Amino acid sequence: MLIRYGYELTLNCPRPTTMVCLLDAHRERLRDLRYETRLMTMPEIATSTYLDTFGNTVRRFIAPAGNLTLSRDAVIEDSGVPDAIEDAKEGPVEQLPNDTLVFLLGSRYCETDKLADIAWQLFGSEPPGWRRVQAICDFVCDRLTFGYAHACTTRTAFEAYTERKGVCRDFAHLAVAFCRCMNIPARYANGFLGDIGVPPDPSPMDYNAWFEVYLDGRWFTFDARHNVPRIGRIPVARGRDAADIALATSFGPHTLSKFRVWTEEIDDAVLADLTRRTA
């Protein structure tokens, strides 16, 4: 299947400010791109990219004083296969690869020290592996009430647990923290996810957070907010939690005055038209 996705965001800075953003499809999906415009900025500015310690592509630039709009449009080919469901096994900690161990540790938004006893009480008797992670997703999905009005940029996993509300990042943070407490490597992820293969959401927001766990020697995708396998995820970045992969980070004050994203299935005719118009 073909999925058209993109973004338009406007940032406002009171003075020239160095910024970094994570906006584009993860480099592991570059081979699947069938169409992509160049990054458009208004006003036009120079930008550069680098890889961070987690393998994400980060865009760096100096935002001028006033408004800066960044936008891009792209089409990616996707398998159309929902998130995998497998009876994958947990690996003993002593056998885990070195690069997964960081995803067992507490982090800015995932306080394993505050949640460890709770996690073992709730999930200690669950069958280890896939079914334990799914039990965590079921619990988080049932415990938290989702709502955009509940968004709070400083809410931690423990606070989400006690307040029982949040947005997709809070669902992911709490599930990640519980998994780590159970010695299952878990990492936070974000990216584009449209209403493909599911009823349309009356208040769609096609930029989402989910998480991945390391089982049976590879990473699997889980989503504690939606809690059903989904089609057409386009990952942008992965890290310990949202602090590692914020949409935009500025080294000085800024406000995000506009953020629009889109994700929709298209056919070959639409792709051909897009390609023709930008040729």
pLDDT tens sequence across 234-270: 999 999 999 999 999 999 999 999 999 999 999 999 9
Residue bearing tokens 């709070």: 152
pLDDT confidence band for 278 (50 / 70 / 90): confident
Q: Which of 25-34, 138-147, 194-203 has the lowest average pLDDT?
A: 194-203
What the block records as the tokens of 48 is 């550069």
Q: On the CB side of 9, how many CA atoms lie within 13 Å of its CA? A: 18
Residue 186 scores a pLDDT above 70: yes
pLDDT confidence band for 213 (50 / 70 / 90): very high
pLDDT confidence band for 202 (50 / 70 / 90): low
Q: Contact, 166 vs 155, CB < 8 A?
A: yes
Q: What is the CA radius of gyration of the chain?
A: 19
Residue 31 scores a pLDDT above 90: yes
Instruction: Using alpha carbons, list the distances in angstroms from residue 203 to 112, 129, 209.
Output: 33, 34, 16
Look at residue 255 in the predicted model and tell me its pLDDT: 95
Q: Are strands 66-77 and 2-13 parallel, antiparallel or unpaired?
A: antiparallel
Q: Contact, 4 vs 74, CB < 8 A?
A: yes
For residues 182-186, average pLDDT = 98
Residue 196: which residues within 8 A CB-CB, separation 6 or more? Answer: 1, 3, 230, 231, 232, 263, 264, 265
Which residues are 49's β-sheet partners? 59
pLDDT confidence band for 203 (50 / 70 / 90): low
Instruction: Using alpha carbons, list the distances in angstroms from residue 6 to 35, 123, 170, 192, 221.
Output: 11, 39, 24, 9, 22
Q: Give all domains of the chain, ordered by start, each with its CATH number.
A: 2-79+246-278 (2.60.40.2250), 93-231 (3.10.620.30)
Rounded CA-CA distance 188/222 in Å is: 10
What the block records as the tokens of 86 is 């497998």
pLDDT confidence band for 205 (50 / 70 / 90): low
Look at residue 199 in the predicted model and tell me its pLDDT: 82
What DSSP string runs through 149-167? Answer: GG--TT--HHHHHHHTEE-
Residue 204 scores a pLDDT above 70: no
What the block records as the tokens of 155 is 């809410």
Residue 62: which residues within 8 A CB-CB, separation 6 or more? Answer: 16, 17, 18, 19, 45
Phi first, then psi, for residue 202 (nearest 5°) are -65, -20
- For 35-50, write each residue's pLDDT tens digit: 999 999 999 999 999 9
The reported pTM is 0.95
- For 94-130, write each residue's pLDDT tens digit: 999 999 999 999 999 999 999 999 999 999 999 999 9
